[in-house]
Chain A
């Protein structure tokens, strides 16, 4: 928009800073400053009682070479992210595709499918889940109908994480709503034109639908991925991190290190590793999407 003839000279309005002042204060005091503090703490030993004392790279060295809990919680979290996020997004997209064609009663379907998301990651939904997958819960009652003897899914090491993944997928409603509106914005004439050219439905999906909504897929993917990495309430209430640490996700480990053992330096190092990991994955997603994602118009920043 730098059009010289129209706008000869940009007239800055410093008063803008009055408007963003609250956020600016918040950014410096509650985001940037704490981030730098946590970077500093990650190189110290600190337990809230004594002042932090410098430990160099000790925390990081210990985490990477001599901390089996770290390795386990990271593996579990990665497994959770790798299963829950793609399945959630793919099912959200598929259902949105079905609902796109102005199906009658769409608002009823949409509301019903949104219901689990509405209950959200609350303590209440975690309590519900804990009962459903328990020894005498809904799942086993259902299996009993077919004569299959159930087990306590939550306290079996092999299936505990699966119950959490299923809950994550169960809440695919918000992604679906976003996909649905994205699909509705794809110009109809593109489909009509390709139909005349004799393109099949599948070809249309890959040649038109997918490229047109790719920015939204990217947006959803990144936000869901970050959210999944931070999963906390579910693991705390449904499985309590157990059995035998099989659902001891990263944020639970971080929480316990920081606030039950008060190893604040060590916890800060864990937090920075998580940040680096999330940044790395985000950058990778952006790098891949630079080739794949299709932007219709450049967006004004």
Chain B
């Protein structure tokens, strides 16, 4: 029995124990028991994943009486990387949950958490389609239960969970069909056997499209993203964190599994398809995020953007491999995994921060926050670091990942291949536009929530959360900084997981890309910045001693005297110029109601402004589809009017039809 075997079995055992603990523990102890148990499950995942990433091998067979051949769990470097990511997010989020849900945690939700974590961590360990789909479905079910946690308190939870369940099952069906096609060609359900299928076959292409769409649905890629902005705001924050920072990544894992291990060396248009899906998703996601004012909705759309970038990176890698341009292709694939790791770190920080803000103020709406920086210093620091990461600024994890992606894009273009020569500049522009809009989005999120003056009573009375929440926030914030400051180790891990060369570490744990001749050394960059900062700080200190700062009661405000916090800019007004620039794409609905004074219509008594932003894809594509399904259902109802004579008639007709068929 190898160490990886032990790790896989330990995860199964810990899930069982934690579930039992959550079921049996008395109500006062339930949170602590199940929370600590979940942290242990997640930690076991991290350790197992790290072992697999280091080259450890193992196989745990699942005994079955069905004729599938060998069905079981194993470990690959790629799977190990995702196991570490899922486990890391799970550990931090479970720690946060101990203090966060103590009051509202029902037994069902505490039982579902370890099951969700366990299933999620073991999906990347599946070695065949059967165990993959079993774990995938278990993960979907457990997460649906968790989304429904607060269904008794709020009505919208049920509709959101319904959207989530439908979309996640659409994903399941597509993946099932895709693996079905492959298994039929290969004659076996194991991934190793499927690798024998020639990717040039039409059936391989059919399978790839089905699988890519299935995984894209789970990953929240536009236009299949509609469940994300609904499910995240209603789920408890630690669940949103796990779903957004870890679960959607398994969609990316699926795509990489199919395109690197099951069907390697596919045709170039596979990559182009992923690239196009990713580009559309990245721009659409960040555009919606930049105008959103519900914090968790904003974060959900930002997930769509980031997953889009991951698809773009994976697509670039596949496209460039088919040309072939091996150096930049390798960098693109490694950057996809770097994006996975960095997004997991900063998005869990941001969602946990949002949870802490919701806990403190009872508000999710940025327009009603403000001034939280002085009231919640720990949350403010962690959320600030997370926001820097999401805006891809140095020296955070997000920056190094986007830097690697851009390097692969600008070195990847070849004039000989027209498709690549056009695709690469477009991709650079897409990444640049998303980076710019992400900057605006997260300046808005941080600035409106944490700076200025409180815009509601809830924000005025805000306070820091419990100890476990603070520790979880600080740990995840520190990981965002560490990954950005010493990215060499994670870059090496990503290169090993993707099975590529030309990506390594150098200097003070910086990233070296010998394949494209580029270097990033955040520690050295920070050192130069620190040296430059010394004289500035020194002059500031001298000036501060001579002329201390004086506090005044009122800001100058352009000469006007401030009256009410309502006069400040809000998240909605902050994004107004952008909403106007992208009017055609966003289609905001604005209602302006003007009440005139009774004496004269030139005097205005009251102006009411209301702006509503719907998801354009949902309005244009999904609602007509749902309406059509509804109409079909209503039409089908006419068959069934309750008359027993009619039903007997149907049976008779059916019998005749069968007889006729048999006779033919």
Q: Do A and B come from one complex?
A: no
